[in-house]
Structure 1
């Protein structure tokens, strides 16, 4: 995929998002589709209550349109199994998030679908993805980053896919707590996989989708940066996390996801550490989890936290690129 094609794909998704947003935000405001802020969260976040949510729909629409239009521009053969799987995952996990957001709005509460309902939906989609890949004789070996070693997972690869999709979608969801935090860190992570994929000359369908997400996220960031005019909600965060994991799977860079998505891993670990510590000792390691809230409560401004996490995301992405491309 040429540099011009990459820039064009990003530009199309970016433009579509910029066109959709000014229409969507006022509509969501009229429908009173505002975010409910949990009372346990930082007090400063209460002012964000009522900000339109479900902005993830904008991202998903922009990515789907850009991917389909661009791939058909390459020729109908470019729309292959990989493209279908990526769009299916993006739409499927986005639908779960949409239902979660919608219930929160209708019920005027911070809880939408139950954890069991969300988990069931996520698992069902992951299982379907596995069977689609397995039916085509997908390689079940997992490479060790920076080496020529492969570990053959065999039937265990099915469980591995389930863990990756569910884990990544929830990790990004946990990270989505500050204006522009996920939009920035996720765009960097997707861009990193796009750069690696271009270097390794991976299928055009995967690269087009990856850069379409980058463009859509950058467009969304225009309206999501502090002070945010719209939130992506679970509609966006669940879809983005699952899509990122699917890209890693299709590129056969599964373990590298842990490095490139380092910010999401750190955020998830902070929640796990907090829960385990409180249940075993009655003490909290952090003032609040996920980790971004801890830094807010020790006096950091929201922008300082977000920019710091963006920088960490860039470092993780750079490390992932270095390991895969130059080691």
Structure 2
């Protein structure tokens, strides 16, 4: 004879089924202060790398008959720079956790798909790019410069300026320096390069303006170093003013770096003067690792 049971008892006897959707809904959500660092958008970054480096590679290794030793130096610099790209990709998540632990973060209000103003994102990640860049540039000296190289002094002076700028930029992030002081920081950082500079002091007048100036090449003399100093102040602050906008600060850095590389290789290919070729090769050695390491940072901004 069947026994009629109460609904509650019958339900208790039935085996309970797992409800993953309900369990997931009941699971505690990530706290607003938790670190949310998406994986780098490698597909977009690698496409950007191919887009920016393809014209430079074509001009350097196909279009222009560059010297074999110059091509070798560019290849070595490119190989080390590519290694730096992957090192930055690996170190950024590590540095992000330490920066968040020290309270160096902001609130993300721009990234699509995240709660606006509730997600903390680490700041000062540019220090990872800067340190890796310096290591690459220092290691490259072993393969390209000799102890009596005439470019070694200026190369090390350029690295000293970069090191100064990294230090001052990190100090700015820590101390929140006012803008009136920020204008002076690039002046201090540019001093090693200005004091060691021994190159030409003339500038090429743009062709549309040459007829008004009267000359195609204008000799500035001592004013050239003043021009370099003001240019350093302008360039650094024009980039820094876009900090906080996802991908814009490092994005324009990548575009400018690629344009500088293409300009340098075109000047090398079109000039027969050895000193001019060496000067533009000097620029390539400094800009190429800067482009690859910046691309790695860009991957976390898109």
TM normalised by structure 1 equals 0.57
CA RMSD for the aligned pairs? 2.8
Cα deviation 1:114-170 (Å, max 9, x = unaligned): 23332333223334432221xx3x311111245781111122223212210101110
Aligned to 1:177: 244
- What residue ranges of structure 1 are gaps of 5+ in the alignment? 104-111, 227-327
Residue 168 (1) aligns with residue 220 (2): no
Give 3-state SS (helix, strand or coil) of 2:184's partner.
Answer: helix
Residue 81 (1) aligns with residue 153 (2): yes
The residue correspondences of 1:19-168 to structure 2 (distance < 5 A) are: 19-35=90-106, 47=117, 50-77=120-147, 80-103=152-175, 112-133=176-197, 136=198, 138-146=199-207, 149-168=216-235
Cα deviation 1:187-227 (Å, max 9, x = unaligned): 121122122223314444431221000010011112x323x
Whether the aligned pair in 2 keeps the contact of 1:32 and 1:50 (CA below 8 Å) is no
Whether the aligned pair in 1 keeps the contact of 2:89 and 2:296 (CA below 8 Å) is yes
Which has the larger helix fraction? 1
- What residue ranges of structure 2 are gaps of 5+ in the alignment? 1-69, 269-276
Displacement after TM superposition at 1:5 (Å): 3.5
Q: Which moved more, 1:49-58 or 1:68-77?
A: 68-77
Give 3-state SS (helix, strand or coil) of 1:151's partner.
Answer: strand
Write out the 4+ residue segments of structure 1 that deviate beyond 6 Å after TM superposition.
none
**For the residues of structure 2 that align with 1:141 and 1:126, how far apart are their CA atoms?**
19
Displacement after TM superposition at 1:49 (Å): 6.2
Whether the aligned pair in 2 keeps the contact of 1:9 and 1:208 (CA below 8 Å) is no
Alpha-carbon spacing, 1:88–1:119, altered in 2? closer, same or farther (3 Å): same
Cα deviation 1:276-300 (Å, max 9, x = unaligned): xxxxxxxxxxxxxxxxxxxxxxxxx
**For the residues of structure 1 that align with 2:192 and 2:131, how far apart are their CA atoms?**
22
When the two structures are aligned, how many residues end up with a matched partner? 211
Whether the aligned pair in 1 keeps the contact of 2:183 and 2:237 (CA below 8 Å) is no
**For the residues of structure 2 that align with 1:4 and 1:126, how far apart are their CA atoms?**
29
Structure index of larger Rg? 2
